[in-house]
């Protein structure tokens, strides 16, 4: 699997370094080729100049002889060869049937193409012979006449070794490689520093965005310069200011809403108290009334009870929203607390309790009572018998389970059962209950630092509460 960099800093450094490497390699290659061409050109010019000068100094007669001229022999060719010879060179002379060599090279080492072109003018060719690179200069000597220069048949081939030039090129290549490595290293350092400088505003923006996400809405960044990052910083500050204003307005509206709910709930308590007193009197007389008035009285009593429960729940919710809900921790016998919760509400006959009589945990008794009451009440009203409550000590807390054996909660409703005023199914919109019981139970569990969850069973539904040791 090929690893690809994902961070902007890594990509910036890699891109910068690749550009530097490419530019360095390109410059080094071009420089090396230019130096190589210049070195070869200098070697060729020097060799051609030497050969031309020595051939122009020939004094013995060659070619078509004039009256009184004697044909050159081995001695003349030897003298010419010595004049053309030098350190490391090799000379091959050809004149008719005479051949003279001075050095390791022979006519067999002269390329055919060069041999043929040497008839026309002085020519050069580079060729590797016997593991070494040579510059071969070939030329045929022409004799000046009154009409035109005439070919003499004397050809000279001088082999110039290029080992010194190759050594210079190798040194140049190593120097360029070292320089390129230094350039790449410098480019890498510059890329790291540049990336750090370029990404510093981005990191500041990231930290500021994180601070905003954590609720520090007064976070602002200083604006430096007039580039794109400065403009982005300015836009961020504007957005943060607008967000702070919007959140302040929302918090103000939320606080007003909580106060309104709390005020209304408290104001409703007084008439509810009077209505409850009257309802108690009507309840005693309902059995002696005619059927129709008796049914109306029972309906009124039922709705008064629902209204009372709703108001109590709204008051409890307003305490949590206002942040005034507190814990009054004390050692509590869990089994006794559950039994008392059920007896007060008349549910003892409908619920099976499984708990150790000696199980004692430090918690808020009143809030634990609300948790159990809401979960058991929900199981009785909306589930099916038998309803079972179990409590046991765990390694680091208390676990309470409430299960019913009814039809269960629809899978689509599971994520929302703890939401306020949520009732699973349209048919439950007018069912008994405020729709706040499970939300209040969860709030009390969280106030203890615990967790609450719901899981479908076959049949029924299981609620699990975990409260940590205080």
Query: What residues does each domain of the chain span?
Result: 8-60+72-169, 229-319, 327-468
Closest CA to 162 of 57, 285, 80, 40: 40
Give the pLDDT of residue 427: 40
Helix/strand/coil (H/E/C) assignment for every residue in 362-421: EEEHHHHHHHHHHHHHHHHHHCCCCEEEEEEEECCEEEEEEEECCCCCCHHHHHHCCCCC
Distances (CA, A) of 278 to 25, 45, 291, 413: 99, 128, 19, 39
Give the pLDDT of residue 4: 54
397: tokens are 């807390």
Which CATH code of 3.40.1130, 3.10.20, 3.30.310, 3.30.450 fits the domain covering 8-60+72-169? 3.30.450
Distance linking the first and last C-alpha atoms of the chain: 51
260: tokens are 């309104």
Distances (CA, A) of 103 to 10, 87, 346, 367: 61, 10, 127, 113
Closest CA to 178 of 186, 189, 166: 186
State the Cα–Cα distance between residues 14 and 347, nearest whole angstrom.
72
Helices and strands counted in the chain (H then E): 9, 12
Distant-in-sequence contacts of 78-81, Cβ < 8 A, 24+ apart: 78/102, 80/54, 80/156
Give the pLDDT of residue 3: 54
Give the pLDDT of residue 281: 72
Give the pLDDT of residue 430: 42
Q: Report the DSSP pairing between strands 123-129 and 150-161.
A: unpaired
In the 8-state DSSP scheme, what is residue 467?
Answer: E
Q: Which residues contact 289 (CB under 8 A, 6 or more apart)?
A: 297
State the Cα–Cα distance between residues 209 and 8, nearest whole angstrom.
18
Give the pLDDT of residue 290: 77
CATH number of the domain at 327-468, please?
3.30.565.10
8-60+72-169 and 327-468 in the same fold: no
Which CATH code of 1.10.287, 2.60.40, 3.40.50, 1.20.1330 fits the domain covering 229-319? 1.10.287
Q: Are 154 and 163 in contact (CB under 8 A)?
A: no
Query: Tens of pLDDT along the chain (470 residues)?
Result: 455 555 667 777 788 788 888 888 888 888 888 888 888 888 888 988 988 888 888 878 777 777 777 778 888 888 888 888 888 889 998 888 888 888 888 888 988 888 888 887 889 999 988 888 899 999 888 877 767 777 888 889 999 998 888 888 888 888 888 888 888 888 888 888 877 777 777 788 888 888 888 888 888 888 887 877 788 888 888 888 888 888 888 877 777 766 766 666 666 666 767 777 776 776 766 677 777 777 777 777 777 777 776 667 666 666 666 666 788 889 999 999 999 999 988 898 899 999 988 899 999 898 899 899 889 988 998 888 889 999 999 888 899 999 999 888 888 888 888 887 776 654 443 445 567 788 888 888 888 899 999 999 888 999 999 999 86
Residue 71 backbone dihedrals phi, psi, to 5 degrees:
-65, 135
138: tokens are 């070939």
What stretches of 74-118 show up as alpha helix (H) in DSSP? 74-84, 112-117
Give the pLDDT of residue 467: 92
């Amino acid at each position: 699997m090929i690893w690809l960099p994902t961070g902007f800093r890594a990509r910036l450094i890699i891109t910068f370094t690749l550009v530097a490497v490419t530019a360095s390699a390109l410059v080094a290659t071009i420089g090396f080729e230019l130096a190589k061409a210049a070195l070869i050109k200098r070697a060729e010019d020097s060799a051609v100049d030497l050969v031309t000068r020595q051939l122009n100094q020939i004094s013995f007669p060659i070619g078509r002889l004039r009256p009184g001229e004697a044909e050159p022999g081995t001695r003349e060719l030897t003298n010419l060869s010595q004049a053309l010879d030098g350190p490391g060179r090799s000379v091959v002379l050809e004149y008719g049937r005479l051949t003279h060599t001075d050095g390791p090279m022979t006519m067999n080492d002269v390329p055919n193409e060069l041999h043929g072109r040497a008839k026309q003018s002085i020519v050069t060719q580079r060729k590797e012979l016997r593991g070494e690179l040579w510059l071969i200069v070939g030329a045929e000597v022409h004799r000046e006449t009154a009409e035109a220069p005439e070919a003499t048949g004397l050809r000279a081939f001088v082999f110039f070794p290029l080992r010194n030039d190759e050594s210079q090129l190798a040194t140049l290549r190593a120097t360029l490689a070292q320089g390129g490595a230094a350039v790449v290293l410098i480019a890498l350092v510059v890329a790291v520093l540049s990336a750090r400088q370029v990404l510093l505003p981005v990191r500041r923006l990231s930290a500021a965005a994180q601070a905003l996400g954590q609720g520090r809405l007064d976070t602002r960044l200083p604006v430096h310069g007039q580039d794109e990052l400065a403009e982005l910083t300015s836009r961020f500050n504007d957005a943060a200011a607008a967000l702070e204003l919007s959140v302040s307005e929302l918090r103000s509206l939320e606080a007003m809403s909580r106060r309104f709910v709390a005020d209304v709930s408290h104001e409703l308590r007084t008439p509810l108290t009077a209505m409850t007193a009257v309802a108690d009197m009507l309840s005693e007389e309902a059995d002696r009334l005619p059927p129709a008035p008796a049914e109306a009285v029972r309906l009124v009593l039922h709705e008064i009870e629902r209204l009372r429960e709703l108001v109590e729940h709204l008051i409890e919710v307003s305490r949590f929203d206002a942040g005034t809900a507190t814990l009054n921790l004390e050692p509590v016998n869990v089994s006794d607390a559950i039994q008392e919760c059920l007896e007060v509400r008349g549910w003892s006959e409908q619920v099976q309790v499984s708990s150790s009589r000696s199980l004692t945990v430090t918690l808020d008794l009143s809030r634990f009572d609300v948790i159990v009451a809401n979960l058991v009440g929900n199981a009785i009203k909306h589930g099916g018998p038998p309803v079972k409550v179990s409590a046991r000590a765990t390694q680091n807390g208390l676990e309470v389970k409430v299960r019913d054996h009814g039809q269960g909660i629809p899978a689509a409703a599971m994520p929302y059962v703890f939401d306020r005023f949520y009732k699973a199914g349209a048919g439950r919109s007018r069912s008994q209950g405020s729709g706040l019981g499970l939300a209040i139970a969860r709030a009390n569990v969280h106030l203890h630092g615990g967790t609450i969850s719901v899981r479908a069973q076959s049949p029924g539904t299981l609620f699990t509460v975990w409260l940590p040791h205080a």
